[in-house]
Structure 1
């Protein structure tokens, strides 16, 4: 189940996969997919199921069907490192869609920009639109609201019976929202909210606002 929020008079739909849809701009925002990481693990002997290689693409297609965005903006770390079999899968996926795709480069994006440009993907270091600043690394602005990734935010939810559940989350502060990592096997950095911060934990099926 999605969760709708309003930021600076704009609507944003938080999705359980960790993506954000911005209807006024017809933009789907996705951070830290880290394509190629699963194949990297498998190549070095980790017992990661082959199905996990395809899961990112299945999730991307489900988001496209649900929101039908005009634009898809990846907020950095789209590909984990150097080329491997998942690049071929990515090429096939890009060639099968009709959305305009943008990449804001992250620290893991070491593949030549020419490879992306050959696929019609536009490359930026950051993007400013309608009072919002889209970046990979968190940036501190007063005049713009920052939408970013990089951190892979997570939150530890504790129950009355001392249960502990670790979940990825959207982490929103006064002038910023950090998106969770979209990719499989990316890990989390567990956040400690301060007064005024908001946590939206994700389970893959629902978005849970944490009070």
Structure 2
């Protein structure tokens, strides 16, 4: 799905990533690396192979888009360092893109660890008239790109059937990204007449008719 915001072109991908064409920036929120290992450590029955799903998704979008920079909009790593950190640092070394982390509430790993693999860290980042944060934020004159909420929408049919889908949630001054990572959960948002919702299916991103 291609959309235009502030005269800039953005491609919304069904993985939850967004490609900013003019800047060649790949924007991704809420990967939560380490969460599968964290859950398994605490006895939650998640298949071990699920660890590699986030890396597979990243591989797909990096092959699809000609990015020079990757910006993670917070919650890159779920909690403390575990075995997935080694996989992540190896992944970083294999790619040439500049990597930036806009810190989220789950990003508790020491900044030194990120700096050792040449990841730049910011509390917030302003690029032109766009404000990049983890938590939804309002700042006059800026369009906010953010995550944290893991937005989703519930679609209802004529009967009692319903379908729950993660989504990109576009407000007049804000685009809330879906969670990129596996096993992150969702928060169901109710759009107003000024909002736009781009739901994610397995094959594509679709705009939801709100009327």
TM class, shorter-length? over 0.9
Partner of 1:168: 166
Distance 1:190 1:38 in 2: 23
* Cα shift at 1:204: 3.2
The RMSD of aligned alpha carbons is 0.8
- Using the TM superposition, give the Cα deviation of residue 49 of structure 1 relative to its aligned residue in structure 2, in angstroms: 1.2
Paired residues, number: 209
Specify the alignment match of 1:197 in structure 2: 195
**1:68 to partner: Cα distance:** 2.2
2:147 — aligned with what?
149
1:78 maps to what in 2?
76
Instruction: Give 5+ residue unaligned stretches, structure 1.
Output: none
Aligned match of 2:59: 61
The aligned residue for residue 29 of structure 1 is: 27
CA contact (8 A) 1:131 1:143 kept: yes
Runs of 4+ in 1 over 2 A off after TM superposition: none
Task: Indicate if the aligned counterparts of 1:17 and 1:205 stay in contact, CA closer than 8 A.
Answer: no
Please name the residue that 2:179 is paired with.
Answer: 181
Aligned to 2:96: 98
| 2:85 matched residue in structure 1 | 87
CA contact (8 A) 1:21 1:27 kept: yes
1:5 aligns with 2:3: yes
The CA deviation string for residues 181-203 of structure 1, in whole angstroms up to 9 with x for no partner, is: 00000000100101110111112
Inter-partner Cα distance in structure 1 for 2:38 and 2:115: 24
* Structure 1 residues 33-44: aligned runs within 5 Å: 33-44=31-42
Deviations 1:74-133 (A, max 9, x none): 000000000111101101100111110000000000000000000010001111111100
2:125 aligns with 127
Q: Which residue of 2 aligns with 1:118?
A: 116
Q: CA deviation at 1:161?
A: 2.7
Q: Distance in 2 between matches of 1:4 and 1:161?
A: 32
TM-score when normalising by structure 1:
0.97
Aligned to 2:14, what secondary structure does the other structure show?
coil
